[in-house]
Each structure stands twice: as structure tokens, then as C-alpha cells.
Structure 1
Amino acid sequence: ADAVAGADAVAQADSPLDAYVPPLPEPEPEPIRPPDGINPFVDTAEDDLSTFGLDVDSGSFDLAAAAIESGRFPQADQVRVEEFVNAQDYGYDADASETFTVSTDLAPSPFTSDPDNALLRIGLSTPQVDERGPASLVFVVDTSGSMADHLPLVQDALRTLAVELEPGDDVAIVTYSTGARAVLDATDASNRASILEGISSLQIGGSTNLEAGLDLGYQIARGLAGDDRTTRVILTSDGIANVGNTSPERILDTAQQAASEGIELVTVGFGLDGFNDPLMEQLADQGDGFYAYVDSLQEADTLFRTDLVATQPAIAREARAQVVFDRDQVVAYRLLGYENRDIADEDFRNDDIDAGELVAGHTVTALYELQLAGRNTGNPLATVQLRWLDPADGAARERAHDVTAANITRDWRDAPVSFRLAATVGAWAEYLRNSPYAPRDGRLLRDEVEELRRAFNTPEVDRLMELVTNSV
């Protein structure tokens, strides 16, 4: 009997059902944890507000383009997604009666980190002013040894500008190397011969005392500033500072103080080797101006003939945006770029917090990737709130714009081509930046840009096609 019982026990143990061991549950995938400096997804249950300054340059895009066109790969830490996106023209309309015209689009994108996510584009535009007032421009030109290869391009750019300025505009030129000196005192643009002579007199030599150059430039600008004039200091440099007070904090404080007095700082970068991109970008940011990078006569011509000569008046100071997401419809969001323009949500109405300065004719684009809940409550999906100070009277102004179901396009191919351009450029920037949210297959980027090139048929998108093809 014992033998039989033992045999039965063995038979039971050998039964497939008894031997079955249920598999362990699949481990939950680790959430993406972006490296420092890249915005992560934010759960709206924890924070449904996203706040940032409307201060956007194009220098990062231009610097990356110069690197690619010279056969190099851009440095990931010099890629700022918002600057890539804002380097493109999306053809936004601007209502002449409004400080800001707001447009929004929402559509699926092949570049989102999850195929079920959607991409939100927020486009802001300001009206162009047909006639500008007089301008005082003080050029601070780096003539140290590291600029030897670039000074001829700087001089050509300055000559372009001298031809375009109008009587009543003032021009002064400061040069700096080991020290700083005024090459050209404030001169009316009608005296073109003197201005051209000052430009031709620039010579290379010495170390780089950036602080001395800016101090002298601001000193001259303060003497030219007036209520009816746009006053700008324009720094042309590779951003290197190796003598004098080289502390970035001290130099940035100088720019910030001058900006509080109404003197804008525009930084124009030249050169690739050793170029100090962070300093040039932050100087323009603290100086309430903009940052551009120049690597060719064509780029210099566009910048100096158009952006600097036009000298559109400021239309909004300390401008910022706050996007309020509906928690019932948006599970999580992430803002593409704008990391160093972040503003604490509680400081949205604190006008002492530095934000952005926009001139007439300026546009700003922001992209958000959204995890949607898949239901429509009938309420706005999000509300874009804008706040700025009116330069005319210093008073704070606000306006709001709702993102509703009417803004949603269900299919990527049906989305406006300008939306697809912004999405593609943003994805390409994330690819170059080594973002964990970037598309892994560069062919997807190349194929999309090829379609956009045919749709736009412009030199700008043709160039974009070449840049993407040579970098992914």
C-alpha cells in the first residue's frame, strides 16, 4: 500500500498542472529620466502650469549649421531646441491692433516619444512697424588675436550696415584687445566716409579684455540714449575673455544693469574653435537683446542689413507665457527647450523677474508634447496666458488664448505644413542634443524634410534639407 501511495505521489508530482509555475509578472518599464538640462514630462496632477520667458535667439541654430557645413558634428550642449525651432519662418499672421497674435495647433506627430502622444504648437507674432525712429548703435569689436581670421567678415558686415543707415542714426565703434579704445566717436550716418574709414582702421593684435570693451561701449551708449531713440550695443566676438575681469558673473551683471537703463545688447558670434557660445547667449539674454551667429557674408548681410538696420522698437518688455493645462484632458506634458528661460509658476506676475524683450515684427514658437487622457470635457484643453510690460507707459498687460478641440488635427498629413516644419526641426534638434525623447531613426527625419522641401521650395528649407541629411 505504501508503494502504491508513493507511486501515486510521483504521478501527481509529474502532472503538468501540478508542475506549472506561473511566470513572474513583466517588470514595469523604467520611466525615461532625461539628463540635467532637458525638460522631463510633468504630471498635471502635480503641476498643471508651465511658465517661461519669451526671449528667443537663433544663435544655436546658426552655430550648429556652421559646424555641419564645415564637416563637424555640433556639440550637444550647444544645441538649444527652442532656438532651432525659432530660427524658421512659419508665416504667422499678425493683427496690427494687437501686441500679440496667438495661433495654436495640435496634432499627432511621428516624432513624439510615444505614438499615442500629440504635439502642441503655440505661435506668437507681433505687428511690424512701418516707420522706425532714430537709432544709436555702438559696435564693440573684438580685435584680439583669436579673431584674426574673422575680422575681414566683421568689417564687411559693418560696411553693409553703414550703407543702409539713415541720417539721424548715430554710429560709434569701440575696439578691444588687451585694452579698449574708441575708434569712431558717435557719428551721424550721413557722414558715411568717416564711418567707413573707422571700419577700415580696425587691426588685430593683443589679448582679449571683453570687460573693458563692453564698459567703454556702454559708457558711449549712455551718452547717446534718449526717449525717442533705440539704443543698442552690438558685440562682435568669439566670446573669449582672457585678461581683465574675466568673471562671467561680472560681465553679465554689466549687461543686466545697462538693460535696466534701456540699452539693449546684441551679441554676434564669429568662429568655431574655442567659441564661447554660453557666454554670448547669456549676455544677450541678460542684456535684453538677441544673439546671432555669423559664418558667411550672406548671413552677415542678412543680419546687418535687415535685423540691425530695421531696428524695430521694443513692443513688449519682461514678456512671459504661462500655459495652464486641463488636468482632466492632459495627463502630462513636456516643453521642448526653453530650459534656461524657465520661470517659477508663482512668479508669472512678478515683473521684477527677468523674462523676455520682443521688438515689433518678432515671432515666438513653443512646442509641447502631450500625453492626452483621451476624453473631451468640453473645456479648453489648455489656456495660453501672456503677460508683458508696455514700453510706452510701463503698465502690465495680459491676454489669454484657449486651445480647444477646434485646434486639433487628427492626422499628421493633414496638419499645416508650417506645423510639420516646426515639429521636424524640433525633433532634429533633440536628435543632435542626444535627448532621450529624440527619434532614433534619422531616416524618418530625412524623409520628412524631403517632403517639406518640395512643399516650401525655398532656399531656407533647401538648406535645412542639406543640414539634416549631413547630420543624421
Structure 2
Amino acid sequence: MELASLPPANLVFLVDVSGSMDQDDKLPLVKAGLKLLVKQLRPQDHVALVAYAGAAGLVLPPTSGSQPQVILHAINRLQAGGSTAGGAGLRLAYATAMQRFNKEGNNRVILATDGDFNVGESSDQAMEQLIVDQRESGVFLTVLGCGRGNLRDARMETLADKGNGNYAYLDNLDEAGRVLVAQFGGTLFTLAKDVKLQVEFNPARVANYRLVGYENRLLEAEDFNNDRKDAGELGAGHTVTALYEIVPVGSPQPLIDNLKYQTSPAASPGQPNPQSEVLTVKLRYKEPQGNSSKLLAQTLAGPPTAIASATPDFRFAAAVAQFGMLLRQSEQRGSATWAATEQAGQRRPRHRPRRLPGRAWCASCASPRA
């Protein structure tokens, strides 16, 4: 989406200024990133700034994007020190966002932290419940993680999920620019919420399958049609890559014994498949302010193709997934080796891969646009 066509933004920067943020790759990086974001603001956008350490405080009341110097001056005043009262900061940030709530706009809290909460609602359950309660107001949550050592990556991703928002890790200023400037619309403007994807394989073409990664994103099959079940959000221009390992029907080395009961006939080796479709992908989503989901579906048909003829982006994504399985010594790594992984990933994608700590592969890089 073009910047001019985006709805008015009501943003609250919630910045962790506790003692653990007093490192070059933490608070100074966050401040530099927020300054880049300020340059994107329009007169119809408003920004407030809340800081929290031992207690939470309002550093800047809601201010128009037509006053960038006032906003930048408030960011420059942030200094690290103290313990981390994350719960109090979130409460104040949400309350500040409600002061200028715009029903037709984008209302969002942007939390920047290393995730080291230790005062107030410090348990995962308490923090999650606080965010779940607040998201019903229409204020979404974006989380920016930074730093190393005490980084709570999984916790921050969970908080963003519960807050109908997204999570990004900032490791340098280039990444901050990519997240907050190049992907400004996707990071801060939700186009679809509670997005769910379901893949159904045709047993006449696929004997077995396995999703690679995404263990913390799985839903029960019945949750796909349940509009009360919370799911992820997608912003403008976002892409997601999911990799499946499949065993074609007739494979000489199936992962498991042949099944006795089949819901549809399986093709015999050398015989034409009874159906041409390999799989169907279904996607459910809600409008940002909607409560009822819409359904999209797309089938995939055609003969199998050797991976050597796949796109460079696909081969690179597969190599990254294989690298992750080797790192974690996955039982599913099979005969994969470091040398084979290096060779498979030699042709780089067209853009710099997104770097996320603790991930087997990245959900947003190396994916062709749909």
C-alpha cells in the first residue's frame, strides 16, 4: 500500500528503559529506529511516547506527525536505568492510545524491549491476559525485540500474537530501517487478522507429509472454521513461507509402513494417478475490524518436478530449513550433511535474508509473492 493511502495512525511508542537496555544494541538502537519511523509520519498521524523501568511514565502526550522535532526531542531524552515494570507500562500505553482512538484509523502500541520483565505482571500468563483484554478495544500491539543474552524471543513473539500484531527482531540499524521504513505499511498496518492456513493433501498423490518448523503455530483441525479462535495477523506486503516434506505415493522408501485403510485409492507405480490435484490450500481471515471470517482456496495440480529446476528462492529456503534441522540435530534430518546444505544454498535470494535468533528458518524471506 502507498503511504498516502494508509489510514491515519494513532501510535504509542512503549520503550523499555530498564538497566538491561543500557547496551549499544538495545536502547540506542531502538531510539535510532524510532527516529527513522518518525520520518514516515504524516500530519494526520499522532504519536505518544511511554517509558517504563521501575515505574511507567508518559514522556510525550499524543503529538501530530507535523511536529517531528518535538517527537524526536522526546526520543532523545530516553535513558536506561532501573528494573522492568512491563505490566504498568503496557497499561499506561493502552490508556494513552485510547485517548486518541480513531475508529477508522490504525491504533497501535509499539513495544520495544529485550523482554526481561521482572516487576508487576512478570509471568507469561499475566502479561498475555493483560494484552488479550486490551486487544478487544481495537488497539493492536507490535513488538520490537533487541539485544542478546537475556533476550526473551519466544515470550515477545507470544505477546505480539496475543495482541493482534507482529514481532520483529532488530539487530542493527539496517534491520530497523527495513522493519520501520521499507516495510512501514506491513509492520504497522494490519490488512487481515486471525489468518489461518490449512493444507489438505490428496492421498492419491501424497502418501505422507510433515510440516517443517512452525511447531508453536499449529492449530487443531476444528479450529480452522472456529471464528472465536485467535490466530495471526498479516500486514501490507507481508509474505509467509511454509515448507512441507512429502512422500509421494509409490515411493520405494516410505517413512512409515503402508496403511491398511485409505480414504481414497492410491496410485500404483507406473500407473496414472486417479486425480491430478496434489493439494488444496485454504486461507481464512477477518477484516481488521471484522468478526466473521472469509474463505479463500487454491488447488495445486501437475506433475512432480526435480528440485534442481526449482526457483533459486525455493532452493535457498529449503537449504535454510535443512541447516536448521542439522543445528538442532533433528531426527528428521535424514542423510543431510553440512556440505550438501552449503551447496544447495549457494544461490542467494534477491534480497538480504531476515535474521531472527533461535529460528530454523525465516518466515518472510525467500518467498515468491502470491
TM-score range, shorter chain: 0.7 to 0.9
Matched, 1:362 2:238: yes
Asked if structure 1 preserves the Cα contact closer than 8 Å seen for 2:204 and 2:275, the reply is no
1:333: which partner in 2?
Answer: 209
Q: CA RMSD in A?
A: 2.3
Asked if structure 2 preserves the Cα contact closer than 8 Å seen for 1:136 and 1:229, the reply is yes
Q: Which has the higher helix share?
A: 1
1:146: which partner in 2?
Answer: 20
Matched, 1:444 2:318: no
1:64-463 aligned within 5 A: 131-149=5-23, 150-308=26-184, 313-374=189-250, 375=267, 376-391=273-288, 393-406=290-303, 408-409=304-305, 411-438=306-333, 440-450=336-346, 452-453=347-348, 456=349, 458=350, 460=352
1:114: which partner in 2?
Answer: none
**For the structure 1 residues 312 and 201, does the alpha-carbon distance in structure 2 shift closer, same or farther, using more than 3 Å as the test?**
closer
CA separation in 1, counterparts of 2:311 and 2:61?
A: 50
For this pair of structures, how many residues does the alignment match?
A: 333
Deviation at 1:311?
A: 5.8
CA separation in 1, counterparts of 2:20 and 2:189?
A: 34
CA separation in 1, counterparts of 2:2 and 2:204?
A: 39
CA separation in 2, counterparts of 1:292 and 1:463?
A: 10
CA separation in 2, counterparts of 1:277 and 1:261?
A: 26
1:110: which partner in 2?
Answer: none
CA separation in 1, counterparts of 2:138 and 2:149?
A: 33
TM (norm. structure 2) is: 0.84
Q: Which amino acid is the alignment partner of residue 320 of structure 1?
A: K
SS at match of 1:363: coil
Question: Which of these two proteins has the greater Rg computed from alpha carbons?
Answer: 1
SS at match of 1:460: coil
Asked if structure 2 preserves the Cα contact closer than 8 Å seen for 1:232 and 1:264, the reply is yes
Asked if structure 2 preserves the Cα contact closer than 8 Å seen for 1:221 and 1:231, the reply is yes
> Which runs of 5 or more residues in structure 2 are unaligned?
251-266, 268-272, 361-370
Asked if structure 2 preserves the Cα contact closer than 8 Å seen for 1:132 and 1:312, the reply is no
SS at match of 2:157: helix
Deviation at 1:181?
A: 0.2
Deviation at 1:383?
A: 1.3
**For the structure 1 residues 463 and 304, does the alpha-carbon distance in structure 2 shift closer, same or farther, using more than 3 Å as the test?**
closer
**For the structure 1 residues 207 and 463, does the alpha-carbon distance in structure 2 shift closer, same or farther, using more than 3 Å as the test?**
closer
**For the structure 1 residues 366 and 258, does the alpha-carbon distance in structure 2 shift closer, same or farther, using more than 3 Å as the test?**
same
SS at match of 1:353: coil
Q: Which amino acid is the alignment partner of residue 143 of structure 1?
A: V
Q: Which amino acid is the alignment partner of residue 340 of structure 2?
A: L
**For the structure 1 residues 461 and 359, does the alpha-carbon distance in structure 2 shift closer, same or farther, using more than 3 Å as the test?**
closer
Q: Which amino acid is the alignment partner of residue 270 of structure 1?
A: C
Deviation at 1:287?
A: 1.0
Deviations 1:80-127 (A, max 9, x none): xxxxxxxxxxxxxxxxxxxxxxxxxxxxxxxxxxxxxxxxxxxxxxx8
**For the structure 1 residues 201 and 278, does the alpha-carbon distance in structure 2 shift closer, same or farther, using more than 3 Å as the test?**
same
Deviation at 1:390?
A: 2.8
SS at match of 2:109: strand
**For the structure 1 residues 255 and 307, does the alpha-carbon distance in structure 2 shift closer, same or farther, using more than 3 Å as the test?**
farther
**For the structure 1 residues 308 and 256, does the alpha-carbon distance in structure 2 shift closer, same or farther, using more than 3 Å as the test?**
farther
SS at match of 1:365: coil
Deviations 1:432-456 (A, max 9, x none): 2332223641111111222x13xx5
CA separation in 2, counterparts of 1:316 and 1:459?
A: 25
**For the structure 1 residues 433 and 288, does the alpha-carbon distance in structure 2 shift closer, same or farther, using more than 3 Å as the test?**
farther
SS at match of 1:155: helix
**For the structure 1 residues 402 and 165, does the alpha-carbon distance in structure 2 shift closer, same or farther, using more than 3 Å as the test?**
same
**For the structure 1 residues 364 and 309, does the alpha-carbon distance in structure 2 shift closer, same or farther, using more than 3 Å as the test?**
closer
SS at match of 2:277: coil
1:78: which partner in 2?
Answer: none
Deviation at 1:306?
A: 2.7
TM (norm. structure 1) is: 0.66
Asked if structure 2 preserves the Cα contact closer than 8 Å seen for 1:173 and 1:182, the reply is yes
Deviation at 1:391?
A: 3.3
CA separation in 2, counterparts of 1:462 and 1:266?
A: 17
**For the structure 1 residues 205 and 189, does the alpha-carbon distance in structure 2 shift closer, same or farther, using more than 3 Å as the test?**
same
Deviation at 1:308?
A: 3.7
CA separation in 1, counterparts of 2:96 and 2:19?
A: 25
Q: Which amino acid is the alignment partner of residue 324 of structure 1?
A: E
SS at match of 2:47: strand
Asked if structure 1 preserves the Cα contact closer than 8 Å seen for 2:138 and 2:289, the reply is no
Asked if structure 2 preserves the Cα contact closer than 8 Å seen for 1:129 and 1:312, the reply is no
Deviation at 1:404?
A: 1.3
Q: Which amino acid is the alignment partner of residue 347 of structure 1?
A: D
SS at match of 2:5: coil
SS at match of 2:208: strand
Asked if structure 2 preserves the Cα contact closer than 8 Å seen for 1:324 and 1:383, the reply is yes
